[in-house]
Structure 1
């Protein structure tokens, strides 16, 4: 089931990447810890070109995928590993969990810098009493 979940998350990420809105969003990087900036992958940097909402969604999905990977490893009952190998794997799982947590925090910072969902999506709200325009 975890493998199915991971494939579903990766499919959603691929779909989201193919449909980026194209609005430039560079986010509140000044508020990010230096370590978080260093651990940002090139893929995250490419995704940072979307709206704030799209960026936060992609970061959350990437974090979820990492945590599914960690969960798979935690449930692995293979016994044919040496003590040093088990210790290295354990430290790697801790590191991956920390990175996923920091990524989720990064998404929260991006979201917190926005007034509301429409602003985060790069959409201008319709003034009260006006009907939204259907023209694009």
Structure 2
């Protein structure tokens, strides 16, 4: 498929939109921003970060699934953008390496989406997936997955 500048701009726009939704969703979850686990943290801080992540998951499995799906979508948009880009003056070896990396990224995104499905499947019902009980939900006007 031959990419046009309009296609590239649309994919960039889609990627930015997904990243904005992810940033907003993370800041809404547990009343503060989530920055992920940095690889250069001391070991005791990594343990705390892992506990925080577990707490976030238990608070709202549905929101965790949303974040996983959006992250997978962002990765797939990026893969699509790369596939649509012209080969340019890169060597056949570089193109092959890039292609193999794209295959890996696509597999990871697929596994992530499957993980989100497993998270949702192990919930008792839609309310518990959102971290709500029936009494809390009766006062809610809508029960969308997005916050």
Fold similarity call, TM over 0.5: yes
Instruction: Tell me, in whole angstroms, the C-alpha distance in 1 between the residues paired with 2:106 and 2:118.
Output: 19
The runs of 5 or more residues in structure 1 that have no matched partner are: 23-40
Answer whether contact 1:47 1:55 (CA < 8 A) is retained.
no
Instruction: Tell me, in whole angstroms, the C-alpha distance in 1 between the residues paired with 2:53 and 2:73.
Output: 16
Match of 2:125 among 116, 119, 134: 116
C-alpha displacement of 1:6: 0.2
Answer whether contact 1:70 1:93 (CA < 8 A) is retained.
yes
Pair 1:42–1:101, CA change in 2 (3 A): farther
User: Match of 2:87?
Assistant: 78
Pair 1:125–1:6, CA change in 2 (3 A): same
Answer whether contact 1:17 1:47 (CA < 8 A) is retained.
no
Answer whether contact 2:79 2:105 (CA < 8 A) is retained.
yes
Residues paired across the two proteins, number = 112
- What TM-score comes out, normalization by structure 1 length? 0.74
Q: Deviations over 1:107-128 (max 9, x none)?
A: 01100001222110111014xx
What is the aligned-residue RMSD (CA, Å)?
2.4
The runs of 5 or more residues in structure 2 that have no matched partner are: 1-9, 39-49, 141-147
